[in-house]
Amino acid sequence: MKPPHGNRPGGSSRPPSDRGPYRGPGGQSARPPGQGPRGEARGGHGGGPGGARDGQKPRHDGPRYDGPRPGGKPSAPRGEFQARAPREEFKPRPPRDDSAPRPQRDAAPQRLSAPPQRQREHDGGRHTPDAPKGTVWLYGHHAVAAALANPARRLRRLLLTEEAEAAISKHLPPPWAVTPEKVDRGRLDHLLGRDVVHQGAALLADPLAPPSLQSVLEKEGVIIVLDQVTDPRNVGAIMRSAAAFGAAAVITQDRNAPEETGGLAKAASGALEKMPLLRAVNIARTIIALKAANVWCIGLDAGGKPLSGPAFADRRVALVLGAEGEGLRRLTRETCDEIAGLTIKGAVESLNVSAAASVALYELSKR
């Protein structure tokens, strides 16, 4: 019977001659007495003398390289035994302490500038205190005292230090609509934030309900329209100036404008409780509605002619101011009746929007 061949089913892929010169019964390799496993007594890679198989040349005639392999660990010389490194002793993992803080993953990179619709809550880089849904924390002596004196404001809690209670009592003697709670400054710092100048007074209240445009038109005075003014401190300062010069109301955009916050109320210094604050969905359509009510709309821009108060002595006026840095938008500018500017003779080219509103209101008060 012929041995199996690589070209036949069940045969080996190697020719019969590669199986060594020593063949025993049953196809098993016969080794001479005292010889170990296959290949130990051979001089080379083959089974014949000199390490070559029958009819074949040695695979390598030059000196053998036993050095380290490229990119790997050095191997032990052939024929030498390399002991395996002893395993490290098993050390049980210590129990996890759930009370210890866990390491936080790297946060996503912060945006250099947030979209306008997400800037409604920023408070000039300051901490915005947390308040229950539908409420707002007001702080500062003037803001808290004005809110306590406003019957339209729904009050929730009043936190006062001993010094703040004495200072507010001079402006508004008790009793008040809500009973004060005595606290220390540390508790207010924890509640409102250490960077908030609360003056030891904090009042939790509901936001004021905005009036209608029709109710504003029935009042006398200049109407101020803010086109995407996003800084709450600027809005609060404009409301304070508007109250000082007898304006009728302040109108802001519903989306790209700050909500009623403690920072806005403190910058307004009590004017938030006295000056109506409206929110319009579309500023251009609001200007059109004002023009339909015989209100002359003046857009304030540096490129316009100098603003003159006596020139509008017989007209109802609305003053339109643009955002910080960008100014009036194109559609807002085109919707206004005219564009006017302020005469600046100093070294600066422009003013902050709240400062420009104060100068313009003073000029219009000369009518």
258-307 pLDDT per residue, tens: 999 999 999 999 999 999 999 999 999 999 999 999 999 999 998 899 99
Q: Residue 265: how many CB atoms within 10 A of its CB? A: 29
pLDDT at site 44:
45
CA distance 84 to 101: 41
pLDDT tens string 52-75: 455 455 555 555 555 555 555 555
Tell me the C-alpha to C-alpha distance, in Å, between residue 360 and each of 241, 277, 304, 317, 356.
Answer: 10, 19, 13, 12, 6
CA distance 44 to 29: 18
Q: Which residues contact 114 (CB under 8 A, 6 or more apart)?
A: 122
Tell me the C-alpha to C-alpha distance, in Å, between residue 300 and each of 97, 272, 291.
Answer: 62, 23, 16
pLDDT at site 47:
45
Position of tokens 């080379």?
A: 44
- Looking at the domain 213-364, which fold is it? Alpha/beta knot (3.40.1280)
pLDDT at site 25:
46
CATH number of the domain located at residue range(s) 122-205 in this protein: 3.30.1330.30
pLDDT at site 326:
84
**Given strand 155-160, what is the order of strands in its sheet?**
136-139, 201-205, 155-160, 180-182
Enumerate the CATH 3.40.1280.10 domain ranges in the chain, comma separated.
213-364
Length of the chain: 367
The answer to whether residues 161 and 183 touch, using CB atoms and an 8 Å cutoff, is yes
Which of helix, strand or coil describes residue 339? strand
Nearest alpha-carbon partner for 366 in 307, 319, 318, 302 = 307
Tokens of 287: 């200007």
Q: Which residues of the chain have pLDDT under 70?
A: 1-129
pLDDT at site 73:
52
pLDDT at site 43:
46
List, in sequence order, every residue forming a beta bridge with 139; answer none if it has no partner: 202
